[in-house]
Every structure is written in structure tokens, then in C-alpha cells.
Structure 1
Amino acid sequence: MLPVALAAGLLQRGYGADAVGLALAATSAAFAGLVVFGGVVADRFDTRRLMIGADLVRLCTQSLAAALFFSGHVVLWQICAIGFVNGAAGAVFQPGVAGTVPRLAADVQGANGAIRIAEAVAQLAGPALAGLLVAFASPGAVFAAHAATYAVSGLCLMLLRLPPAPPRERHGAGRGARAFRADLVEGRREFRSRPWLWRVIAIWCVYMIAVWGPAVPLVATEVIQRHGPRAYGLVNSALGAGTVVGGLLALRLRPRHLLRAGAIGLFAFAGFPVSVGAGAPVGAMAAGAAVAGAGTAFWSVMWATSVQTQVPADALNRIHAYDVAGSLAMMPVGRALAGPAAGAVGAGPVLLVAGGASVLVAGALLMTRAVRDLVRAAPGPAPDTRATVPGGPADGPCPADEGGTGSTATGRR
């Protein structure tokens, strides 16, 4: 819902693509800059309470944004500041996500596939609803609905039942600043010791600058300006439908080399920015979005499963935080450069270049031996699924809607 609300709301107030890019960049910059510290915190404290607190903060920030758009007094720096706080809260929320799936699921790949399908169902309804709210109400109504989703998230976290948390999470809170720094360094060491991990992140930095960073604001502004917000909602819903297909494929296909199979699926993303950049009809853009959604969803399941099964449980939250930070570090750069680049040569050519860059990125993943030849981890013992009382000290996080190379980054990746 958020890209629809920001693009439509700022365009209605006389701002352009550069303002949309900056507003989105403020959120992603705060998230990418702080998520590593959030990973250390997630390994040391009760992640459930941290995540509920983050949801409460985002409930407040999006409610404030709704009030600003309802009042008609929208100033860009205020929207960017709200986005920055929103991103900081997401940095606290996200790191514990990766550790939850292997705690609850014996079939990690199947669980990740189910998560992607659930996200896609929301992605089908969210943009379409946002387009209708913009068309028949106002962007402020979208922000109000978006704020309500964080209230729902917090309630679900309160009701979530989890097996006992590792002792590190329950007893690590009082170890001091020196131990906090040691945990930070240890997480970095674990990250660097896995060539397949850091090489994917390095390649993904290029993807963020050249592909995803510019694609989000430019696709939004191009489709809305040419065809209206309802068409943009339709295109995003097609992206969600494709994500459902990709999640279903990930539930069924069990390749021995997960990242190799995922990289092949990632080639499909190119059709989305190319169709928009070429000025194709709405139907063709929706088809390109659907194919892109299927490919990226399949990649994200293969990636998330690889991280969750190849990394030790006691370092998983921190490794996931490094994954997310590295994946998203260059997204603010790509989004901030999208407006000036579009102003210099036009949004269409920039999107065509983004489509070509996405093909090169998928090819680079396949050409990297450590990535291409990584073998699926042998299945471990099934997790202890004895439930605890919701809200108790052993409870932790639930899957979220934000992430790095392994999530639907439209979040918002």
C-alpha cells in the first residue's frame, strides 16, 4: 500500500519522481543503517517484545502521516522524517524473523514458500485497495489503513506461540556494552567466513543501485501518470499473483543447488521494468509484473532457506541482519538517483537499463562458483514444537514483510 500512497499523495501535492524517491529512500536508509545493531539486540533480548514495540512505533508514524495528508499540509522533509523513524523501527523488528522459521518448522523450504504465498495474498489485495482508496477517498485514507496493519501485526505477535527460546536470547540482556560489541564483531566474522553469503550480497548491491532502487519509484510514477492509480494497483496486484505462483513452485521443487535454481528464476524480473519503460499497455505491464513476481519469489525462498539452514542457530539473527543490511545498503542510492536520472534521459530509458542490469545480475550469480555450487544442507532434527504461553519470556518473532535478498522488498524487499 505504501508506494501507492506516497506516489499518489506527493504527486497530488505537486512533487515529482525525485520526491517519491527521496521519501522511499529515507525509510530504506534508516533500515539498512540500523538493522545490524538490531540483529545483535535480537540475539540478546526478548524478540517478541522488541517487535511489538516496533509495531507500536510504526502505528504512530503512519497515523501521523495520515493526519498530514488529511490536513493537506504536506511538507517533504516531514514525510522523509516519518519514513526514517519507520525504517528504524523496522530495523528492530526484522532481524529476529530468520530465526523463527527454523524454530517452528521441520520443512524450512516449505515454510518459506508458505510465507511468500501469504505475503503475495496481501500484495494482491493491498495495492488494489490502495488504488481504490486514492481514487475514491484520498492518500490519507491509505496511510490510515496502513497504520492499522501494524496494529494487526502487534496483536498477532501477542498471540503467537513459540517453543522455548535459546538461552542466549533469554539471558543475554545484562552483559554490557563490551559484550554487545563482541557480538557485533562475531556476527561480522561469521558473515565473512561464508563466501557464498557475502558474494551474493556484493552482487545484490549492484542490483539495488541499478535495478530495484530506481524501479520502485519510477514504475510507480510512470504508471500513475500515464494510466492512473487504479492501473498501478492492478500492476502491483499482478506482481502479487506472480509471487503466489513462485511460492507454489518453491513448495513443489526441491533442487539440490538452491541458489543456482533461484538465480535462474531471477532472470524473469527483467520483463517488469522493460515493459513499463517501453510504454507497453497496462495488460502487458501486468503480465511482466506477474512473471517478475514468480521469479523473484522463487529466488527469495531459495535464498532464505539457504541462510536459515546453512548458518548456526546462535548466530542466525545477526547473520540475517548482515544479510539485510548488505542487501539494502545501496537501495537508498538507487532510489535517490532515480529522479535525477529520469530527469536527464527520461524514465523509460532508465527502466530499460534496469531491465538489462537485472539480467546481468542473475548471470553474475550463476557465474560465481561459491553461489552456483552451494549444496542443500542435510535436514536436521525437527524443532521442539511444544508451545509456551503467549507473551512469556521464551517467545520471539514472527515472519515480517521486510528483508534483504530473501524477502519481498517492495515493502516493502
Structure 2
Amino acid sequence: MMLNLLPTVILLPFTGVLVDKLHRVKLMMTSDLIQGFLAILITILVLSDHLSMVWLWGYAIVTGTMSAVFQPAYSALRQQVFTPDIRGAANSLTQLGMQGMRLIGPSIGGVLISLFTAAIVFGIDGLTFIISFIFLLFIKVACATKRVKPTGKLENQPRLKTFGKDLLGGFVELKKHAWLWVTISAFAIINVCTSGVVVVILPWLINVHYEYSSSIYGLVVSASGVGSLIGGLLFGLKKTWRHRGILAYLGMSLEALSLFLMVEISWVPGLLMVIALGGMGSMFFGIIWETSLQELVPEEAFGRVVSLDILGSIGLMPLGYLFTGWLAEVIGGVKTSILLASVMTVIIMAALSIPAVRRFE
């Protein structure tokens, strides 16, 4: 898992430049082909009894690298395709689709593994990348880079210096909008709090602290997805939302509230409702955030900005998981969840204390 995430964290600032310089659809197609080929290769290696951990380590590194290319390209492509008149509804549908797949994807994987073997399922996964490649063939968009013929001193600048300016372009764009850089900074910590609780504390809470079966844990995870689906549907019903800065952080306040309440409510229906409420609030924030990026960031710089956004979201997660596990052993899982929810609440309040965040429409 570390080898899979590390290349993504390291390469995101650089791949953002590539996304803004090269054709985004072609980058995604290349990523799909490489990941599809590797997944099918794993199947072949298992069936021929040649698979070793070295191959799996290599698989993790390459797929992590391709993720650093695909994700910012995919986000930037949505900005190109989702024109302002359909942007709100299109982002809602995209998030609904993602949440739907997160709900049924693990179940499909479990069924396939029970019917076949893990090796065969790797091959099936490889075919899904090929299907994605075929869909991308139907998307016709231009390269986002504005073609300006260099003149004067600009033409004689060293390539390394020019690349350095391109690399800093994302930071320059972020500085123009307090809403963007404040929120990315805030979520570098908020994501550590939420993911730490959900990934580390929640399984322990359900299976050990409340002594429920794994099926209840599955219901709880599904409840979050259901809440997200409801949030996406509600958001998509209205074409224009006002006071989006306040609304987005109120959504994350619901997520923080769910982290507080889930360690106090052991009644299963109540627990499911609390988790669903958090999922709904998180979805509201997610749609507002993606739409705001598409509105504020120019097309030719979007790849670099969204790469910094993804980097801020996942950069501290590996350390966050480690810290959450350590803290839970020291003070207990319940206190850890309350502490992380408290930190999250403080950061939300600090962000809302900034006028530019509150006034974002």
C-alpha cells in the first residue's frame, strides 16, 4: 500500500504540468492501457506459477504512478466537458456514479472471487481498463494548452527554467483565490481526521467495541454510501445554490457530527442514520468543491491546480493512519474518534472565520 501511494504523492505536482501540456484524453488512455496490461500480466504470472512479491511491488509502484497521471487528467477533462449550463447536474451525476460503484464494487469483487480465483479477478479487472479505454475513444476534446509562439527573451529561456515556472503555475493560480488555498490547506488535516476514523477506528468500533458481526459493519459502510447518494440527488435538484462556502463547510460539520455520535450510539438503526448523515454532508462539500474548481481555475492551468488539490488530500494520509492507530492504542478508540472529530471541528470553524470563505458564492 505504501509503494502504491508514494509515487502518487511524489509525482502529482509534476504530472499536473503534463496534464496541462499534453492531451488529457490520450494521457488517460495510456494510463488505462498500462494498468490493464499489468493486471492481465499478474493473472498470467499466477497461472504460470511465476508470481513473486517483487512483481506485486512493481505492480503497486506502476499503478500508483499511473494514478498520478489519470486522476488529475480525469478531473481536468471534466472541466472541459462539463460546460457551465450543465456543470451542477453533471458533477452530481459523476459523484453519484462514483458512490454507486463504491457501494457495489466490493460486493461484485467478493462474488467474482468466490466464483473464480483472485488471479482470474485480476484479469477481469484488467479488462475493465480496456473498456475504459474504448469509452475514451469517443471523447473529442482539444489540448488545453494555449499555443502562443514564444518571442524575444522567452524563446531563449532554458527549458529547466521554463518547466520550473510551469511547475509553480498551480501555486500561482491557488494564490488568486483564498477559497481554494484555504480549503486545500484545511483538508490536508480534515482528511487525516476523517480517513483515520473511518479506516482505523470504525472497524474496531463495530466488531470489537459494540461486538457486532461483520454484516453490521457492511451495513454501516453502505449507509455512508446511501447518504452520499441522497446528498448528490438533493444537490442536483437545484440548479443554483447560494452561500456555497458556508454550505460546503456545514456539510463537513455534519461529517464531524457523525464522528462524534457514532461512538455514543450503539443502536444499529440510529448508527446507520448517523453514518448516512455524514455521507450526505461529505457529498455536499465534494460537489461544491469540484464545481468551484471548474469555475475558478482556467482550463490551461487546471491540471496543475487539481494535482495540488489531490496531493493536499492524500499527502498526509499514510502518517495519519499510523498516528491514529498509535493514538488508539494509547488512549483508546472512542477517545481517539472524539479527539479527531474535535480537531476537525476546530479547523472547520477556523476556515469559516475567514471572510473570503464565508462569502464564496
Amino acid paired to 2:164: R
Would you say the 8 A contact 2:103–2:222 is kept in 1? yes
Aligned partners of 1:213 and 1:334 also within 8 Å:
yes
In the TM superposition, what are the counterparts of 1:1-400 in structure 2 within 5 Å? 23=1, 25-60=2-37, 62=39, 82-104=59-81, 105=83, 106-130=85-109, 132=111, 146-159=125-138, 161-168=139-146, 176-220=159-203, 222-223=205-206, 227=212, 229-253=214-238, 254-274=240-260, 277-278=263-264, 280-375=266-361
Q: Deviation digits for residues 264-292 of structure 1, max 9, x if unmatched?
A: 11112135444554573554443233212
Of all paired residues, the percent bearing the same amino acid is 24
Q: Is the partner of 1:59 in helix, strand or coil?
A: helix
Distance 1:146 1:231 in 2: 28
Change (3 A) 1:371 1:41: same
**Structure 2 vs 1, CA of residues 249 and 44 (structure 1 numbering), >3 Å: closer, same or farther?**
same
Q: Any unmatched runs of 5+ in structure 1?
A: 1-22, 376-413
Q: Distance in 2 between matches of 1:65 and 1:282?
A: 40
Distance 1:81 1:220 in 2: 29
Shift of 1:311: 1.5
2:153 equivalent in structure 1: none
Over 3 Å counting, the alpha-carbon distance change for 1:57 and 1:352 in structure 2 is: farther
* CA–CA distance in structure 1, aligned partners of residues 277 and 56 of structure 2: 33
Cα displacement (A) at 1:263: 0.9
Distance 1:294 1:184, change over 3 A: same
Structure 1 residue identity aligned to 2:90 = A
Larger helix proportion of the pair: 2
Shift of 1:219: 2.7
* Secondary structure class of the residue paired with 1:339: helix
CA distance in 2, matches of 1:65, 1:343: 37
CA distance in 2, matches of 1:66, 1:286: 38
Number of aligned positions between the proteins: 347
Structure 2 unaligned spans of 5+: 151-157
Residue 371 to residue 219, structure 1, CA distance change in 2 (3 Å) = same
**Deviation string, structure 1 residues 330-365 (Cα, Å, up to 9, x no partner):** 222212323322333333432333333333333333
TM-score by length of 2: 0.81
Distance (whole Å) between structure 1 residues aligned to residue 99 and residue 137 of structure 2:
23
Distance 1:296 1:193 in 2: 25
Which SS does the other structure have where 1:301 is aligned? helix
RMSD over aligned Cα, in angstroms? 3.5
Identify if the C-alpha distance between structure 1 residues 57 and 283 changes in structure 2 by more than 3 Å, giving closer, same or farther: farther
Question: Are the equivalent residues in 2 in contact too, given 1:40–1:183 (CA < 8 A)?
Answer: yes
Residues 25 and 77 of structure 2 are in contact (CA less than 8 Å); yes or no, is this contact kept in structure 1?
Answer: no
Shift of 1:207: 0.9
Which stretch shifts more, 107-116 or 228-237? 228-237
Distance 2:228 2:21 in 1: 34
Q: Which 10-residue stretch deviates more, 26-35 or 132-141?
A: 132-141
Displacement of 1:147 in angstroms is: 4.5
Q: Secondary structure at the match of 1:164?
A: coil
* 2:221 aligned partner, one-letter code: N
CA contact (8 A) 1:271 1:289 kept: no
How far 1:57 sits from its partner (Å)? 3.3
Q: Is this contact kept in 1: 2:20–2:145, CA < 8 A?
A: no
Q: Is the 8 A contact 1:208 1:331 kept in 2?
A: yes
Matched to 1:166, the amino acid is A
Change (3 A) 1:235 1:367: same
Distance 1:267 1:147, change over 3 A: farther
Q: Distance in 2 between matches of 1:315 and 1:228?
A: 48
Give the TM-score normalised by structure 1. 0.72
- Which amino acid is the alignment partner of residue 200 of structure 1? T
Distance 2:179 2:229 in 1: 27
CA positional deviation for 1:186: 2.2
- Shift of the alpha carbon at 1:246? 1.1
Q: Deviations over 1:46-102 (max 9, x none)?
A: 22221122223333555577789999x996x97666444322211101112333233
Q: Which is higher, the Rg of structure 1 or of structure 2? A: 2
Q: Report the equivalent of 2:154.
A: none
